[in-house]
Amino acid sequence: MERNEFLEQLTKAAKAEGFTDCETYYQQADSFEVLVLEGKVSHYENSRTEGVSFRGNIGGRTGYAYTEQLKADAIPFLVNAAKENAALLPPEDAEELYPGEKEYPVLQGIHEGLERLSVSEKIDAAKRMEQAALAGAEEVALLDYCVLGTARVETAIRNSRGLDVSFAKNYATAFVSAIARKGDETKTGSYFWKDQDWNGFDPEKTGREAARRAAMQLGAASVLSGKYDAVLYGETMVALLGAFCGIFYAENVQKGFSLLDGKLGQNIASTAVTLRDDALLSGGYASTPFDSEGVSGKNKAVIENGTLRTFLYNRKSAKADGVESTGNGFKAALTAPVKTACTNFYLQKGSKSRDELFEALQNGLFITDLMGLHAGTNTVSGDFSLSASGFLIENGKLGRPVEQITIAGNFYRLLEDIEDVANDMYFSSGGKGSPSVLVRGLDVAGM
């Protein structure tokens, strides 16, 4: 059945069954992925998934149901399942549907060049990545991963209160992991690329960068334990942002799972720190004109020059604080409830190059990788103790590689200790971003 017809019939059937308000949340995802190994395709996938999540209010309660079948016989199933589920939930958990807004931001979600890309062009690009990686450094012996993918995701939300929004976006990703060997030593280096603009993709550069990263780590050794001034690479900061972003969620503040309660308008970081959550960032990986509740996407500074300006709200947490939602209510999947989540959540870049940060540091560490994020972080207290690797910085220049060290600290204190921010920028596939940052007095356990 055609999507719009299915949604209309579902709403009509729900109303006939006694639902006073109802909402349909539709999502369709088309994805392509190819892995290459030794110049040949080792894995190929071209798939489509779609589904509808239905919620409605009946008898003062809210019920949910879900289907992946947009067929006529799925409609009575959805209505009856939601009715039965509503009867099991307490009235105080009833949800008020959002009526929508007069206007929504306009974002360019679909890049036509990516839509027109043929399968053969994608496979060719993946093979070129592999060839470049194998030739990128003489120590590179083989690749353990070389993958290229594209995706197109469409989301549509309709409800009986007038909300009717939809948005589609496409993007491409590429990932190469290279293995370098020298004698008995083996190191792995990887590089990840993502964008909506296929014209910005350089397969050879992607492959060479993965090879370079692998070869650079050969000869790594630990350092003496102590306090070190350090530059944290953007990828490292992104890992920390991903682990601790929940401290900025209003629902966690309200539950006591964040130490930021009562600190709005106060300085919680150095003046070098501006942390943003921008749903409307041009070309952003997590850009969207509306969240899963239909609230329009917004650009906002969470921390501005060190001052805490806002928490991130969905509609429920916003109601509890008597404020408007910031457009951060999202479903992790069609079957999941709405929770708070970031959009493009990033530390704003500064004006200096990374080399200038090295020069200011003179002697210390350049931390490029972190391990053990799940076991080594306390997302309430902000404490972390993580295995790390990177490079020495000697006389303002990049030195030998470093491994088998542990860095320890506290995320709240780290925000205060950021002395400077570079003008480079790294974004993860989840929309977290950061430039490299300079911090002083990092606790390091080594030899």
User: Over the stretch 283-314, which tens digit does the pLDDT of each residue have?
Assistant: 898 999 999 999 999 999 999 999 999 999 99
Residues 71 and 159 in one domain: yes
pLDDT at position 259, please?
A: 97
Q: What is the mean pLDDT of residues 229-249?
A: 97
405 and 305 share one domain: no
**What residue numbers bound the domain in which 393 lies?**
219-241+349-445
CB 354 within 8 A of CB 230: no
Which residue has tokens 């043929």? 118
CATH code of the domain covering residue 90: 3.30.2290.10
64 shares its domain with 181 = yes
pLDDT for residue 138 is more than 90? no
For residue 218, the model assigns a pLDDT of 95
Contacts of 104 (CB under 8 A, 6+ apart): 165, 289, 290, 296
Of 34, 60, 202, 37, nearest to 118 (Cα)? 34
**Do 369 and 338 share a structural domain?**
no
362 in the same domain as 426: yes
Rounded to the nearest integer, the mean pLDDT of the chain is: 95
Of 325, 347, 369, the last residue of a domain is 347
Q: What is the spatial distance between Cα 220 and Cα 184, in angstroms, rounded to a whole number?
A: 13
Q: Is the pLDDT of residue 374 over 90?
A: no
Asked if 398 and 275 sit in the same domain, the reply is: no
347, 365, 394 - which closes a domain = 347
Residues 74 and 108 in one domain: yes
Whole-angstrom distance, CA of residue 147 vs CA of residue 33:
7
Shared-domain flag, residues 225 and 136: no
The number of folded domains in the chain is 3
Q: Give the pLDDT band of residue 23 (cuts 50, 70, 90).
A: very high
Do both 319 and 399 map to the same domain? no
d(C-alpha 386, C-alpha 373), whole Å = 7
Whether residues 164 and 234 share a domain: the answer is no
Cβ atoms of residues 325 and 314 within 8 Å: yes
User: Does the structure show a pLDDT above 90 at 224?
Assistant: yes
Report the C-alpha gap between 154 and 225 in whole angstroms.
51
DSSP, collapsed to helix, strand or coil, labels residue 134 as helix
Taking each helix axis as running N to C, give the angle between helix 3-16 and helix 74-88, from 0 to 180 degrees, rounded to the nearest 10: 50
Sign of the C-alpha dihedral computed for residues 280, 167, 332 and 159 taken in this order: positive
pLDDT for the residue numbered 196: 87
User: What count of residues does the chain have?
Assistant: 447
pLDDT of residue 2: 86
Q: Are residues 166 and 289 in the same domain?
A: no
What does the DSSP assignment read for 184-252? TEEEEEEEEEEES-GGG--HHHHHHHHHHHHHHTTT-B---SEEEEEEE-HHHHHHHHHHHGGGGBHHH
In angstroms, the CA 376 to CA 384 distance is 5
Query: What CA dihedral angle connects 254, 259, 262 and 266, to 10 degrees?
Result: -140
Token pair recorded at residue 82: 């939601």
Show which of 330, 347, 364 is a domain's final residue: 347
**Residue 331's closest CA among 340, 318, 344?**
340
pLDDT in tens, 308-350: 999 999 999 999 999 999 999 999 988 888 999 999 999 999 9
Write out pLDDT tens, residues 375-388. Answer: 899 999 999 999 99
The one-letter amino acid at 350: G
- Identify whether the C-beta of residue 418 lies closer than 8 Å to the C-beta of residue 270: yes
What per-residue confidence (pLDDT) applies to 59? 93
Q: Are both 209 and 116 inside the same structural domain? A: yes
Q: How far is CA 397 from CA 46, 209, 218, 341, 354, in A?
A: 46, 20, 18, 38, 11
